Every structure is written in structure tokens, then in C-alpha cells.
Amino acid sequence: MTGPVANSAAQEKQAQAELATATSATRDPGSVSPLREAIPQVLASCAKNMLLLDIGMTLAFPTVVIAALLGSKEHPREPDEYGLAFDEWQASWFGSLMLICQPFGSVLSGLLLEPLGRKRAMLLVNAPHLLSWLLLSTARTHGALFAAAALMGLGMGFMEAPIITYVGEISTPKLRGALTSMAGISVMLGFFIEYLLGTLVTWRTAAWGSVAVPVLTVIAISQVPESPMWLVSKGRVRDAERALCWLRGWVPASAVQTELAGLLQYNTEMTALPSKSGKAAKAAEGGRKSNGVSNGVSNGGFVADDAKPAAVTEAVKQADDEVPQGRYLDGLRALRRRETLWPLMLVISFFVIHHWTGLSGLRPFMVPVFRQFGLPVDAHWLTVLSALLGMGGNVLCMLTVAWCGKRPLALASIGGMALSCFGLASYHLFMSSSTGAAVGDELESHWLPLVLFIALFFFHSFGIGPIPWMLLSEVFPYQGRGPATGIAAAASYILGFFAAKTFLDIQRLVNLSGVFFVNGGVAAAGFLFMWKYLPETEGRSLQDIESMYIKKKNAASVESSPEQPMEKTSL
């Protein structure tokens, strides 16, 4: 799973952990059946997943366009009504431009998420994608294509924060894990739909068909409520109660009073803590910042003071006069600490492996690469197969990660990708040498490279695709989590951009076999690195993971003292 993407499933898990105390309180029993309670949460999650579907279609579209506009000797480019065509330089930019634009959209998302709210933000992010699809379907110049790609990248980045936070804030703990795990599947479904459209119709028709997705997304999201947690943080407790009534099965107000009181207490504690301790408070993931609780909440707003738990009433009163300060600066200072810096290095290293083991650079150019290998199946239908394998791998990862842990899955995935890349490189080198094929020539049809490509797609989606984003939500201590997560995500986008942008350049230098030898070498080195440094985080609380790095920091300090020689420590 790619950057934004995947980001969402793992970081929504973060919101699950940090909001558990706020939403796990038992509501009045006997109000509705479990099925009725689950249905509105599933509907709200599906509305949010429409955004992820659009992200998958957006990431897949360069593959469709490049296949049509970048021709070869055996497969001339498809005729275009406006005469558009790509050379390799233009194709490399179109295939990578949206990735380098994503971080700018992420910054904008973080700035606008809190004042707009989750629902409004999720509605607004459809505007750049709708405009991009319209621009692509009517493009007459290369400039229009590149402008649409850049706008799509900004839109994907802008989607990041609301996608991350919404499901974590509206769902109950018993459903939250299942709902958040659907994120990767939704993205891969977007890949499947776009690749299928690109196989059956022209790229312009595919763009016209994709226009429907942001329109349907706006309709779906307009029908679901705002996050109760955000409403409470803004003092809109009456609206928060109505949202909870909808989300918990269209129940009466009396059924959600305990949970509402828990949200009030959580918000108050997170608002009041920084001014007392001088440290950052725990807030929900995705840039949510509590700005204090208004007098409308603490002075008889919706839940009467005498009906609230005493801790809630006292905390709200204290929060009225306290303003959190310095949270972001505290987070930046925390980046210098070993317990933040070492996990950050680990996650960025994982993203290097994620993007430079084949699929990130290959994806925009899959159709011409498949043709060069002489695969016995139509190259466009193989892109559809790659998306199906991606969905299957994500589902398998979701079902097995709790049972066997992230470390074994990651090592198996990286090892499998190394073998697949070395196999593809060796096959192409041998066949090119035996037939005297030049760079870019197509080889004779054979089933072996098809099997190796299937393995490559599966191993990527089974582990190395989703797991770095899972780690992103787990390994950072609270105080530096916001800046560290932003830096790691930005690094992922930049690494993905360079992997896609340089793919054709590396191919010109060392042939297609050399590209896969490079990918296989990165995977092999990554396997050894992760074997030594990747810890197991599955089943451990966020506090346990943070304590693990703090203990190693203390151990390193003891080992480097004058009485003892300093020894190398692992992550």
C-alpha cells in the first residue's frame, strides 16, 4: 500500500489506542442490538472509504495514461483525439509528479483540519480530485496533464488528516479494528477499478468515468455525522450528542450520556495537561489540537454538572482558564531524543526498502515493462491482476498480523521480493544475452516471468506495503509523534517520487535486468537490516514500545560511561 494510503489504516489504529479511554465506557445497556449498533458505524466508515477508493484510482491512472501515450516499436502509442504523446522524459514526470506534490497537500490538510472539522474537510477534499478528473478527460496539452497530476497529488495529501482521524473517533473499540483494516482494501479496490477501466476503454473515457467517484463521495459523506470528539473539542456538546445517537444505532439521548461524559473528560484532560506539566498533551492523531472547553460546556451546556462524574466537572472548570502552549515546539525538541530519533531512522529505512524493491518505480510503467518481458497474457489485464493480488495480500496481512506479528511478515515479504527481483533480473539478462535483444526490445513469450511478477505483487502487498505505515503509528513516543510522523510520511513520498522518476533513467543505463538487480540488492540488504533492527510491536501497548527505546537509551548511557567501554546496541 502506498503512502497516503496505507498511512490511513495504520494511523487510524493510533487513534484507536489513544481514544480508547474516551469511548470504551459502557453506555446504558439494552438499548439496541449489536447489529443495529454496528450498521451506522459501518455506513460512516464506507463513506470515508470512498476517499480511499479515489486515492487508489488516482495512483493507478498514470499507469493507464503512460501505457497509451508511450509507445514502442512493437506497440505504437494509441491514437489520441488531440494528438498527445509522451516521450520517456515526459512519462517519467507524469508518473511521479503527484508523489512529490503530496507533502504540500498534507501540510495544508493539517492546517485546515481543526478549524473545518473532519466532515467538512472530507467534503472539501473532493474538489481538487473532481477538477483533476475533468481536466484529464479534456486535456489538449501536456501542461494540462501535468497540472492535473500535480492537483491530484495535492488532493491526496489533503485527504490524509481527515481520513486518519475520522473512523478512529466515531467507532467503538470492538469495531474500530475491523473498520480501520478496510482502508488498504479500499485503496487496492481503486487500483482494480481504474486498471479495469483502462483495459476496457480509452484513457480519456476512464477519466470521464472516474469523475463519478468524488461526486458519489460527496453525497455519501454528506449523510454521515461529524466526529463527536471534534464537536466536543469545539464546545458543541449538543451536536456531539446527536452525532453519538446516530452512530450508536439511532438511539435516544439517554443511551449515550456515559460515553459523552467520557469524551468530555478526555478532552478536558488533554486540554489542561500541557499548562500544568509544560509537556505536550495526548491528542488524537492527525493534527487535532484542543483549544479549551467553552463555558457552554462547563456551565450547564448539555450535560448537567450534577449528572457528570466529579472528575469531569472539576477538569472542565480547570480547563476554562488554561491554554495549552508549546506543544509543537515540544515535539520538535523530542526529535533530538534517542527514543524518537532511532524509531524515525528505522521507519525511514523501511520506506527506503518499501519504495526501492521494485513496485513503486515499476507501477507507472507496468504495461511497457510487461511487454518487454514478453509475458503470455495481455499487459493491460496483468495490471488488473496486480490489483487483485494487492487486495488478496492486504486481506491476508490483516488476518495474520495479530497471530504471527509484524516482524515475521515483514521479513518474509522482503525476502520474497528479493528472490522475485533477482529471478526477474536473471531471466531478462539470460534471455537478452541469448537473443541479442537491445534495450527496450521485447523477449519471447514465457510463463516464468509471469509467475515471478505474481510473486512480486503478492509479497509487496502481504507485508512490505502495509507494515511500515503500521509502524508509523506505533513506534514514536507521544511527545514527538506528530513531527516524527510528518517527517516519515514526507520521506516516503519523496522516496516514492525518486523511485518512479528514475526508473526509466536506470533502465537506459543498465537495461531492465539491471533495474531488477538493483531492486533485489536493496531488498537483500533490507532483509539483513530488518533482521537486526526491527523489533516486534504487535500486541504491545504504545507505552511498552516507548519504554523499550527509553531502556535502550539508558543502557547505551551506562555502556558509554567512563567505567565501561561503549558497545554497539541495536534498535
Closest to 469 measured CA to CA, from 355, 335, 332: 355
Q: Grid coordinates standing for 389?
A: 493480488
Handedness of CA 511, 513, 519, 520 (dihedral sign): negative
Q: Grid coordinates standing for 264?
A: 468530555
Q: Grid coordinates standing for 390?
A: 494487492
Task: List the Cα angle 552/557/558 in 5-degree steps.
Answer: 100
Question: How far apart, in whole angstroms, are the C-alpha atoms of residue 16 and residue 530?
Answer: 27
* Residue ranges, the chain, pLDDT below 50: 1, 4-6, 8-10, 13, 15, 17, 19-30, 273-327, 556-571
Question: How far apart, in whole angstroms, are the C-alpha atoms of residue 94 and residue 71?
Answer: 15
Per-residue pLDDT, 28: 47
Is the separation of the CB atoms in 530 and 411 below 8 Å?
Answer: yes
Handedness of CA 199, 201, 206, 209 (dihedral sign): negative
Per-residue pLDDT, 276: 43
Report DSSP state, residue 561.
S
Is the separation of the CB atoms in 489 and 472 below 8 Å?
Answer: yes
How far apart are the two ends of the chain, measured CA to CA in Å? 25
Per-residue pLDDT, 110: 64
Question: How far apart, in whole angstroms, are the C-alpha atoms of residue 513 and residue 404?
Answer: 34
CATH class of the domain at 32-224: mainly alpha
Per-residue pLDDT, 201: 93
Longest Cα pair distance anywhere in the chain, in angstroms? Answer: 86
CB atoms within 10 A of CB 134: 16
Report DSSP state, residue 558.
H
User: Which part of the chain has CATH 1.20.1250.20?
Assistant: 32-224, 335-434+445-553
Residue spans of alpha helices (H) in 356-477? 359-362, 366-372, 379-404, 406-435, 448-459, 467-472
Closest to 103 measured CA to CA, from 538, 528, 492, 515: 492
Q: Which CATH architecture has domain 335-434+445-553?
A: Up-down Bundle (1.20)
Handedness of CA 558, 562, 566, 571 (dihedral sign): positive
Per-residue pLDDT, 112: 73
